[in-house]
Amino acid sequence: MTLLHRLASILDWLFHRNRAEQDLNDELEAFVHMAAADRVRDDASATEARRSAVLHLGDVEQTKERVRSGCYGAWLDEVGQDVHYGLRTLRRAPAFAGAALLVLAISIGATTVMFTVINSVLLRPLAYPEPERLFTLHGATEKLGEFWGFSNPDLADVRHESRSLAIGAWAYGGGTISAPGAPEYVDGRQISAELFSVLGIPVLHGRTFQPDDDRPGAPAVAIISYGVWQRRYGGALAAIGQPLVFDGRPYTVVGIAPEGFELTGDVDICTPLGQNTATRMQNREARFIHSATCRF
């Protein structure tokens, strides 16, 4: 009840302040009149009575101030005054104000960046099912320390030796899609056949790569992103099986990746890693495979 009264009086203060001031003035004026009238009855002259009554009322401004500061809304005024005072002070010392603003801006920015990184790297779970079972393999040698990348022969050995891991892999492989539609440079990935199932996500339409796709000489197939599907095929289901020219080679679209699919960045097209015939595929020192992604 009391809380409601206080809220009401704060609102009252905000919206009817002038009337409240007027009320207070009238009330104090009435006080003086009544005090003066009593003194006239005590045989003083009218002027004398009023003078005495005003004296009795004392410092009017101080009284008003004490009434006002007792009002629950009054702190709003005080906050307002403090803010005004603060702004005036800042305007008087622009160099100091600028420096203070700069320090604040930089620290807020730095904190935000720190939080964003920590949030996405450490706090937020991976956007895949059962993310706690996912990890990536890194190689290391005594001479050179840890590598972020993985070479294809190393990957083959790990696959051969492993009994309990499903191992997928991908490497960067951007290029130009020149048909259908206008040529466009896109972000691409060369992925192993297992990658989608290791990550635990299905394609939106069509199929993922099969082990048969993932070897040299197999028919060239591609999985395209939701965005490419929309832009170049109008989102038609008939896109599956359609031809696509990527980096001058003809491919057949076999699958559409789910909307928002990424692998450390945007992905517009995926091609089978195993169809890569570059010599570095056989080079144990060429650690171009960005991630050996495992699920146990």
Partner 1 sequence: VEKLDIPQGTLDLMILTILAREPMHGYGVSQRLATLSHDQFQVNPGSLFPSLYRLEQDGKLKGEWRSTENNRRAKYYRLTASGRRQLEQHQERWKRVSFAISSVLEGA
Residue ranges binding partner 1 (CB under 8 A): 1-2, 4-6, 9, 23-24, 26-28, 30-31, 33-35, 37-38, 56-59, 62-63, 66-67, 69-72
Residue 67 or 220 having the CB closest to partner 1? 67
Residue 190 near residue 235 (C-beta atoms within 8 A): no
Residue 35 or 204 having the CB closest to partner 1? 35
The single-letter code of the amino acid at 214 is: D
Pairing assessment for the beta strands 175-179 and 243-246 based on DSSP bridges = antiparallel
Nearest distance, CB of residue 71 and partner 1, angstroms = 7
Pairing assessment for the beta strands 175-179 and 140-141 based on DSSP bridges = unpaired
Residue 58 or 265 having the CB closest to partner 1? 58
Tokens of 289: 């495979």
Burial degree of 144 (CB within 10 A; 0-12, 13-18, 19+): exposed
Residue 20 or 90 having the CB closest to partner 1? 20
Give the whole-angstrom CA distance, residue 166 versus residue 116.
Answer: 31
Residue 206 near residue 254 (C-beta atoms within 8 A): yes
The CA-based angle 49-55-61, given to 5 degrees, is 130
Residue 70 or 234 having the CB closest to partner 1? 70
Pairing assessment for the beta strands 166-172 and 134-137 based on DSSP bridges = unpaired
Give the whole-angstrom CA distance, residue 222 versus residue 186.
Answer: 13
Residue 68 or 231 having the CB closest to partner 1? 68
Residue 131 CA from chain centroid, whole number: 21
As separate numbers, helices (DSSP H) first and strands (DSSP E) second, the chain gives 9, 13
Residue 66 or 133 having the CB closest to partner 1? 66
Nearest distance, CB of residue 13 and partner 1, angstroms = 9
**Coil, helix or strand at residue 166:** strand
Cβ neighbors of 167 (< 8 A, separation 6 or more) are: 137, 155, 158, 159, 192, 194, 198, 292, 293, 294
Residue 61 or 142 having the CB closest to partner 1? 61
Nearest distance, CB of residue 58 and partner 1, angstroms = 5
